[in-house]
Structure 1
C-alpha cells in the first residue's frame, strides 16, 4: 500500500475532537472541513478542539486577506 493511500484511509478514533499532531490528522481534517492548515490551526487556537466549535468558527470567520 502506498503511503499516500494509507494517510487518506486513516480516521481519528474520536471524530468529535480535532487533533492535528500528526500529518495524517492534518490531511484528514483539512479535507473533511474543506479548509487550509493555517485556518484550521487558527480555529483550534481560537475555540479549542471541539469539532462543532471549529466548524462554526470556520463558517463564521472570514478568511483574512493579505494587506496591499
Structure 2
C-alpha cells in the first residue's frame, strides 16, 4: 500500500508519503524497508484512529 502511495504521490496529497521522505533525509537516513515499515505502522494507527472517531481522511488536518 505504501509503495502504491509513493507511485501516486503526484496525483494525491498524503501525509504518509511526506513521512516516508522525512525518514529518508538526514538526520534519520533510514533504509528503504525500514522507512516502509514505519509508514505501514503509521498507516495502521491512522486507520484505527479514523475508524474510532468516525472521520474521513483530510490532508489539511493530518499531522505532518
TM-score norm. by structure 1 comes to: 0.34
Larger relative contact order (CA 8 Å, sep ≥ 6): 2
TM-score with structure 2 setting the length:
0.35
Could you say which structure has the higher helix fraction?
Answer: 2
